[in-house]
Amino acid sequence: MTYALEIDQLHKAYDNGFKALNGISLQVERGDFFALLGPNGAGKSTTLGVVSSLINKTKGSVKVFGYDLDKDLSKAKCLMGVVPQEFNFNMFEQVQDVVIQQAGYYGIPRDEAKRRTQQLLQQLGLWDKRHDASRNLSGGMKRRLMIARALVHQPKLLILDEPTAGVDIELRRSMWEFLTQINEQGTTIILTTHYLEEAESLCRNIAIIDQGDIIKHSSMDELLKTINTETIVLDLHQPITQAPDVAGYRLLLVNDTHIEVTLNQGQDINRVFDVLSAAGIQVMSMRNKSNRLEELFVNLVTSNKTDLKGVSA
Amino acid sequence: MTSYEIYIAYLTIVRKEIKRFMRIWVQTLLPPSITMVLYFIIFGNLIGSRIGQMGGFDYMQFIVPGLIMMSVITNSYGNVVSSFYSTKYQGSLEEMLVSPTPNWVILAGYVTGGVARGLAVGTIVTSLSLFFTQLEIHSLGIIVLVVLMTSILFSLGGFINAVFANSFDDIAIIPTFVLTPLTYLGGVFYSIDLLPDFWAGVSQLNPILYMVNAFRYGILGVSDIAVGYAILVISAFIVGLFSYCMYLLNTGKGIRK
């Protein structure tokens, strides 16, 4: 099977000796919505930089839809669209020119480039700003402009490096909707983000990278199944002085109107509600104490750091 | 990419480059015109009238080809160095690097932009010089060939400067400390026949001397250097710099991490 992206034993050491990638291997299936997560400096952007050929690798191979970057770079580039973390367009150029020019670099004739630009800018809500200098756009608009630019040559693989960083929640949700839509139309998407809620709701598969190594690579469902405990916070209608006892469950009274319930894997919460109802305690709302993926992510990265300390000790 | 797609990519870069220097014409086209008019007035009219003849021509007639060449050189170099460096600085170079546009097309696009500005300024300066003197054309072919080759050569030089530049100061160092002295000592204002043998010999190491003299030959029909030899030297420099530019682009030095 040909993957949308296949990375094999990828190493990257910078001139100053810093090893950003220690031989990572990764596969992303066609049509996937894939999350590449990791703390700051873990190697996410370096990986995407090598894939998009902006960073020279030290060793290893990268294939995009079967095209090896060392042998068929031009074909591989035609199939990729890249949305980088930093704004990297000419701030003095008009919004529409940024997109039309990008189409030109892919050999798309100007009339067709203009047609596609109009379509994309309309879809992303930027058409009214098409004559503005791109430096005058808001942060969210600049991110959308980079998405339009990355899509103008209709790539089969879209790489997004923290596309929603610094974007307000309303705009973030509209971008999620847009990305889901193009993924459903067949575009494979690889995303890095620090918003784990974003990765959990959008992505089907995930890899977690830390200190240049892939420490987890699985489907999102499988990963979430590995969570052993989950903490739910209950908001109470009236204050209480002591959390009731529920056999087999851990309940903690955080303050007089909030109880934390820790559920083990496979445990349901109905029993807790039964006891609370019987005690006349009304629950107004409930929420997860933290995002499930976030909890898992922190645990994985923390234990990886502990392991590495153990090795070096 | 097919040849047609490559052609479109090339046109895209050229269009972008020309649009850039036309958009900021107050910074790119106007200053060299004003500077050259001042040269014509001061060196040509005021001082030149006291100097008398140089190389068998009025001093004004003698310096006009050199001054045209000087503006072509500084503007083709300046266009590429500032445009490519600001593209690198802003990060928008990545737009081209992630695309399938071949490296030689990127280079050709920027060089064409530099040539276009060199020619635009050269044409303006030539037109302005007609207010001060009469120019006769000895060989149009030589004029066109030498101007094109010179602007290509200095566009390539500007490209190399931009690749290695890490700050805006770096793009001013070469024009200030290398290009300007070489131009002033390249026979723009005098014939090397006036120099002692030793300094005349040293002057022959200056590539700008060949360009100025070949261009002067195209206009006046006189040159301190054999024109065929001058064209050969310019060609050799072009081949050398082009090869080096391609090496830089292919290895990603100063461009990719």
pLDDT at B118 (0 to 100): 96
Question: Do A270 and A134 fall within a single domain?
Answer: no
pLDDT at A302 (0 to 100): 75
Residues from chain A contacting residue B256 (CB–CB below 8 Å): 53-56
Residue finishing a domain among A206, A225, A244: A225
List, for residues A78-94, the tens digit of each pLDDT value: 999 999 988 999 999 99
Q: Does A47 touch chain B (CB under 8 A)?
A: no
Report H helices in A23-138. Answer: 44-51, 73-78, 95-105, 110-123
Contact B8 A109 (CB under 8 A): yes
Question: Do A164 and A249 fall within a single domain?
Answer: no
Q: Which residue has the tokens 């995009």?
A: A64
Domain spans in chain B, listed from the N-terminal domain onward: 3-251
Asked if the structure places residue A187 within a domain, the reply is yes
Strand ranges in A170-282 using DSSP code E only, listed in sequence order: 188-192, 205-210, 213-219, 229-236, 250-255, 258-264
Contact A74 B16 (CB under 8 A): no
Asked if the structure places residue A299 within a domain, the reply is no
Question: Do A218 and A269 fall within a single domain?
Answer: no
Q: Which two three-digit tokens encode residue B43? A: 């060196």
Residues from chain A contacting residue B1 (CB–CB below 8 Å): 74, 78, 107
pTM summary value: 0.83
Asked if the structure places residue A262 within a domain, the reply is yes
- Domain containing residue A235: 229-292
Asked if the structure places residue A310 within a domain, the reply is no
User: Which residue of chain B is at minimal alpha-carbon distance from A48?
Assistant: B98
How many structural domains are present in chain A?
2
Asked if the structure places residue A298 within a domain, the reply is no
Q: Which two three-digit tokens encode residue B137? A: 């054309």
List, for residues A40-72, the tens digit of each pLDDT value: 888 998 999 999 999 999 999 999 999 999 999
Those residues with Cβ within 8 angstroms of residue A115's Cβ, 6 or more apart along the chain or in another chain = none
Amino acid at A56: N
The whole-angstrom separation of Cα A276 and Cα A274 is 6
Q: Which two three-digit tokens encode residue A47? A: 């990986």
In Å, how far is A206's CA from the nearest CA of chain B? Answer: 24
Contact A107 B1 (CB under 8 A): yes
In Å, how far is A51's CA from the nearest CA of chain B? Answer: 10
Those residues with Cβ within 8 angstroms of residue A24's Cβ, 6 or more apart along the chain or in another chain = A7, A9, A10, A43, A47, A60, A209, A212, A213, A214
Q: Which residue has the tokens 């928008």?
A: B92
pLDDT at A64 (0 to 100): 95
For residue A241, what is the domain's CATH number?
3.30.70.1560
Question: Do A166 and A112 fall within a single domain?
Answer: yes
CB–CB of A86/A137 below 8 Å? Answer: no
From the list B101, B102, B256, the residue facing A54 with the nearest CB is B256
In angstroms, how far apart are the furthest CA atoms of chain B?
61
pLDDT at A299 (0 to 100): 72
Query: Quick one: which of A88, A254, A61, A93 has its CA closest to A161?
Result: A88
Question: Do A181 and A65 fall within a single domain?
Answer: yes
How confident is the model over A256-268, as a mean pLDDT?
84
Q: Which residue has the tokens 């200190």?
A: A211
Residue finishing a domain among A225, A257, A283: A225
Please, which residues 114-173 of chain A have a Cβ atom closer than 8 Å to chain B? 149, 153
Complex ipTM: 0.87
Query: Quick one: which of A217, A140, A150, A141 has its CA closest to A189?
Result: A150
Backbone phi, then psi, for A160, in 5-degree steps? -120, 115
The whole-angstrom separation of Cα B92 and Cα B37 is 36
Question: Do A111 and A241 fall within a single domain?
Answer: no
Asked if the structure places residue A309 within a domain, the reply is no
Contact A104 B97 (CB under 8 A): no
Question: Do A79 and A15 fall within a single domain?
Answer: yes
Backbone phi, then psi, for B109, in 5-degree steps? -65, -45
Question: Do A148 and A96 fall within a single domain?
Answer: yes
Question: Do A218 and A248 fall within a single domain?
Answer: no
Long-range contacts of A182-186 (CB under 8 A, 24+ apart): A182/A151, A182/A158, A183/A31, A183/A33, A186/A31, A186/A156
Contact A107 B11 (CB under 8 A): no
User: Which residue of chain B is at minimal alpha-carbon distance from A159?
Assistant: B98
Q: Does A109 touch chain B (CB under 8 A)?
A: yes
From the list A49, A52, A104, the residue facing B9 with the nearest CB is A104
List, for residues A182-234, the tens digit of each pLDDT value: 999 999 999 998 877 788 888 999 999 988 999 888 888 887 777 667 788 89
Asked if the structure places residue A303 within a domain, the reply is no
- β-strand pairing of A59-64 with A5-13: antiparallel
Q: What string of pLDDT tens digits covers the 257 residues of chain B?
A: 899 999 999 999 999 999 999 999 999 999 999 999 998 888 777 887 788 777 778 888 888 888 999 999 999 999 999 999 999 998 999 999 999 999 999 999 999 999 999 999 999 999 999 888 888 888 999 999 999 999 999 999 999 999 999 888 888 888 888 888 888 888 888 887 788 888 888 888 888 888 888 998 998 888 878 889 889 989 999 999 999 999 999 988 877 77
The whole-angstrom separation of Cα A293 and Cα A274 is 28
pLDDT at A312 (0 to 100): 47
pLDDT: which is higher, B126 or A304: B126
Q: Does A251 touch chain B (CB under 8 A)?
A: no
Question: Do A192 and A94 fall within a single domain?
Answer: yes
The whole-angstrom separation of Cα A185 and Cα A165 is 25
CB–CB of A281/A253 below 8 Å? Answer: no
Interface test with B, best of A15, A105, A116 (most B CBs within 10 A): A105
Residue finishing a domain among A194, A225, A256: A225
| Apex A292 CA angle, A286 and A163, nearest 5 | 110
Report H helices in B98-226. Answer: 103-129, 140-164, 170-174, 180-184, 197-203, 207-220
Question: Do A179 and A283 fall within a single domain?
Answer: no
Q: Is the pLDDT of residue A308 over 70?
A: no
pLDDT at B155 (0 to 100): 96
Q: What is the mean pLDDT of chain A?
A: 88
Residues from chain A contacting residue B85 (CB–CB below 8 Å): none
Residues from chain B contacting residue A82 (CB–CB below 8 Å): 94, 98
Question: Do A105 and A218 fall within a single domain?
Answer: yes
